[in-house]
C-alpha cells in the first residue's frame, strides 16, 4: 500500500506544479474531478492489482469494482482534498484502506508534498513514517483543537452544520477546516488535533483514517455512537476523554 501510494504520488506532485494546465470537470456543484484524480486512481489500481490480483475496489472516481476474492476490497481516494489541490494549497493526500469481510484492517494516508506517510494495520499500531503515533492526551475541551468539514455548496446539511458549530465552538480552544478528511483523521491519530467531526462524508474520504485513529488509541464512531460511519457518512473521532463530551454536544445541537 505504501509503495503504491509513493509511486502514484510522483505524477501527482508533477501535476500539482502545473495545476493550471489540468483538465477539470464538475461532478456536481463544487465537486471537481481533474485529470490528476483519474491518473492517480488508475496508477493506484494498477499497482494494487499487481500485488493482490483478486481483491475488489471501491474507488472515488471509478466506483465499485468486484474482485474474484469477495472478502477483500481496497477503498481509495486518489486525491482527498481535490479543492485544495486545484487551488494550489498543499493540504491534499492519497488515501488507501483495506477492508476484509467488512472490517477495515489497514490504512495509508500519504501527503506527498510533506512526505508524510501515515500508516496503520489492525493490531500493529499507527505510524507517521517510522514514528509510532498516539492520539492526544488532552482532557479538557477548552484546551482542544478540533477539525471539521463544512458541507460544500449543493450538499445538504448546512443548517445542521451551523448548529453543530455553534455548540462546539464556544467550548474549545479552536476549530480548523483543513479541507481533507483523510488528513484530519491522520492529524487526530498524530495528536495534532484532538478531535474531528463531519457529516455527509464518503467511505473513501475516511476509511484509511479510521484505522489510523483506532490504532493510535482513539475512538471513532458515528453520531449514534455506533460504527456505521462508512454507511451513514457521520463521523466523530477523538481521544477517549473527549469523545463522549463531543458526542453529547453534537447530538444536543442536532436535536
Ligand atoms: C473532500 C474532503 C473535505 C471534506 C469533503 C470531502 P475530496 O474530499 O475530504 O475535507 O470536507 O466532505 O468530499 O472531494 O477532496 O476527495
> Looking at this predicted complex, what is its ipTM?
0.96
Probe ligand 1: pick from 87, 149, 160, 176, max atoms within 8 Å of CB?
A: 149
CB 195 within 8 A of CB 161: no
CB 113 within 8 A of CB 16: yes
What is the C-alpha to C-alpha distance for residues 69 and 61, in angstroms, rounded to an integer? 21
Which residue has cell 509513493?
A: 6
Which residue has cell 474531528?
A: 196
Q: Please tell me the predicted confidence (pLDDT) of residue 49.
A: 97
- Domain 1-132 class, CATH top level: alpha beta
Residue 155 has pLDDT above 80, yes or no: no
Chain segment 31-69, per-residue pLDDT in tens: 777 889 999 999 999 999 999 999 999 999 899 999 999
pTM: predicted TM-score of the whole model, two decimal places: 0.96
Beta pairing partners, 7? none
Task: State the DSSP string of 182-210.
Answer: HHHHHHHHTTSSSEEEEES--HHHHHHHH
Ligand 1 residue neighbourhood (C-beta within 6 Å)? 60, 77, 80-83, 149, 179-181, 198, 201, 205
CATH no. of 141-254:
3.40.190.80
Looking at every residue in the chain, the average pLDDT score rounds to 95
Please name the helix (run of DSSP H) or strand (run of DSSP E) that holds residue 51, with its range, or none: helix 35-51
Domain boundaries, the chain: 1-132, 141-254
Give φ, ψ of 177 to 5 degrees: -120, 95
Active site residue 205: yes
Amino acid at each position: 500500500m505504501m509503495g503504491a501510494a509513493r509511486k502514484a504520488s510522483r505524477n501527482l506532485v508533477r501535476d500539482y506544479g502545473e495545476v493550471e494546465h489540468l483538465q477539470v470537470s464538475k461532478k456536481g456543484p463544487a465537486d471537481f474531478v481533474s485529470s490528476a484524480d483519474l491518473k492517480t486512481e488508475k496508477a493506484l489500481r494498477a499497482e494494487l492489482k499487481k500485488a493482490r490480483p483478486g481483491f475488489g475496489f471501491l474507488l472515488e472516481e471509478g466506483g465499485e469494482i468486484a474482485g474474484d476474492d469477495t472478502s477483500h476490497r481496497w477503498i481509495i481516494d486518489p486525491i482527498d482534498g481535490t479543492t485544495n489541490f486545484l487551488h494550489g494549497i498543499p493540504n491534499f493526500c492519497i488515501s488507501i484502506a483495506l477492508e476484509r469481510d467488512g472490517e477495515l484492517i489497514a490504512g495509508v494516508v500519504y501527503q506527498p508534498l510533506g512526505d508524510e506517510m501515515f500508516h496503520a494495520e489492525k493490531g500493529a499500531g499507527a505510524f507517521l513514517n517510522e514514528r509510532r503515533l498516539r492520539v492526544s492526551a488532552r482532557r479538557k475541551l477548552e484546551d482542544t483543537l478540533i477539525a471539521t468539514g463544512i458541507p460544500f455548496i449543493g450538499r445538504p446539511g448546512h443548517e445542521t452544520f451551523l448548529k453543530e458549530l455553534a455548540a462546539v465552538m464556544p467550548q474549545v480552544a479552536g476549530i480548523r477546516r483543513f479541507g481533507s478528511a483523510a488528513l484530519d483523521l491522520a492529524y487526530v491519530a498524530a495528536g495534532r488535533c484532538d478531535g474531528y467531526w463531519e457529516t455527509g462524508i464518503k467511505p473513501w474520504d475516511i476509511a484509511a483514517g479510521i484505522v489510523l485513529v483506532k490504532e493510535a488509541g482513539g475512538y471513532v464512531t458515528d453520531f449514534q455512537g455506533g460504527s456505521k460511519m462508512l454507511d451513514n457518512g457521520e463521523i466523530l473521532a477523538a481521544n477517549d476523554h473527549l469523545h463522549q463530551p463531543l458526542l453529547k454536544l453534537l447530538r444536543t445541537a442536532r436535536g
